[in-house]
Amino acid sequence: MRVTWSGGELTFRLDPEDEITGKAADEHPVKLATNTCTISGVPADAHPDLYAVAAWTVVAPWTRRKVTFDRAVSAEVAAALHDGWGVEAGPVGAEPRSAGGTLAISYSGGADSVAASAVYPDAPFVHFRRVPHARVPNRWPHYRSDVLAKLAKRTGRDLTVVESDLEFTLAEPRPGYPEHHAVAAGALLLADRMDLGGLAFGYELGSRWLGGDRYLLRYTPDNPMWAPHGAWGRLFAAVGVHIVLPVGGVSEAVTMRLALNSDLKDQVRWCLRGTDGPCRTCGKCLYKELIQAAVERRPIDTPITADRPVARKWLQPPPFGGQEMIEYGLARVPGIEQSLFAKAIDHFDATEESTSWLDHCYPPAIDEIPPRWRDEAAAFLTSNVGLMTEREIRRVETWGS
């Protein structure tokens, strides 16, 4: 893989051994659509290691053995790429970048991200906004990135919006981040200007520790994407931008509760479709409604009926992505047996007692936060959430086994 930056425009060329369909860090196959993308509003003189890592968040899935950058990188970054991915990176010859003093939040506006913001009320936001690509047709026009950017502005936080078409480098499964970390490409290029030493993400317990979403569905202390000792954690650390997961120890029930109780509650938006509010008809809205109903202890309120395609997966047997939250919802939502989740109840033996661990914080997640930002998170989580008991900790550590 050969990588060139011209201002904020990234161009990459595959070497003969590279492949059009590669795999992201979570093993998900991703197919390349085009070899250019642009990140706007970023400085022209960022540290060469920042250019390298920002590019790697895009090109990693398609790179097999070697990555050649257009400017020399530090030996530290080359080593992190070698140890994490087995690729030869070069040329080598730059001094490493030292970590800055500021923690910024990679802010999406969803409940998890708002909860992370509540932990650090003074942290500035960097918001990634999707814009169309000049040469790739937009097959997903209902994605309202303009609405999300507007809501981010209304938070009143120190906000930098980074506009990028990098999601269109992906042909399949659909436009999206080639690696989850590509959401941070703009923040990485801004790291010198913002004096960044850390970047906080809203990844919660399921994503960090339970192998959630499209990943493994079992306890994953060595998660390659989000563990500080994983490949990505070490690569970000090598450029002095530590990955910080303020809500990595709590479930989506807790992030939902924290978000709805936060100063930013009017700006929370997890749906990418609605303009005046969530669309209420997509799969994500349905999943989040189950969690919100459980948190608010009320019946589920949705226009979706069991015959809709979006409801189909709940009529099939598990596993489900975010299965711990399904169990949590089934145990707590009044009248769930009359809802479209009725069939799912047969597969679980969930009770309030058996799901209580999802109301507390998994302590090792706090220990992972770099020392500089740990105490603030620990104080917040201890007083607003509470730590798991030994028994609850065992529920995390035996998940999926």
Map the footprint of Zn ion across residues 70-109, applying CB under 5 A. none
Region of 119-127, 199-207, 247-255, 284-292 interacting with Zn ion (CB under 5 A): 284-292
On whether the CB atoms of residues 274 and 144 are closer than 8 A, the answer is yes
Distances (CA, A) of 126 to 48, 157, 270: 20, 10, 17
Number of residues that bind Zn ion (CB under 5 A): 6
Question: In whole angstroms, how close is the CB of 144 to Zn ion at the nearest point?
Answer: 10
Tell whether the torsion through CA atoms of 384, 112, 279 and 162 is positive or negative: positive
Among 285, 331, 369, 396, binds Zn ion (CB under 5 A): 285
Question: In whole angstroms, how close is the CB of 383 to Zn ion at the nearest point?
Answer: 33
Region of 136-144, 155-163, 222-230, 282-290 interacting with Zn ion (CB under 5 A): 282-290
Among 196, 227, 264, 282, binds Zn ion (CB under 5 A): 282
**Residue 197 or 202 with smaller CB distance to Zn ion:** 202
Region of 31-39, 120-128, 200-208, 285-293 interacting with Zn ion (CB under 5 A): 285-293
**Residue 209 or 314 with smaller CB distance to Zn ion:** 314
CA dihedral 181, 187, 189, 190 (to 10 degrees): -170
CA atoms within 13 A on the CB side of 225: 33
Question: In whole angstroms, how close is the CB of 303 to Zn ion at the nearest point?
Answer: 11
Map the footprint of Zn ion across residues 120-139, applying CB under 5 A. none
Distance from the Cα of residue 129 to its chain's centroid:
14
Q: Should residue 111 be labelled a site residue for Zn ion when binding is judged by CB under 5 A? A: no
**Residue 170 or 271 with smaller CB distance to Zn ion:** 271
Question: In whole angstroms, how close is the CB of 110 to Zn ion at the nearest point?
Answer: 12
Please name the amino acid found at residue 266.
D
Map the footprint of Zn ion across residues 173-232, applying CB under 5 A. none
Q: Should residue 279 be labelled a site residue for Zn ion when binding is judged by CB under 5 A? A: yes
On whether the CB atoms of residues 219 and 348 are closer than 8 A, the answer is no
**Residue 92 or 279 with smaller CB distance to Zn ion:** 279
Using CB under 5 A as the criterion, what x/- string covers residues 238-277 for binding Zn ion? ---------------------------------x-x----
Binding positions for Zn ion, rule: CB under 5 A? 271, 273, 278-279, 282, 285
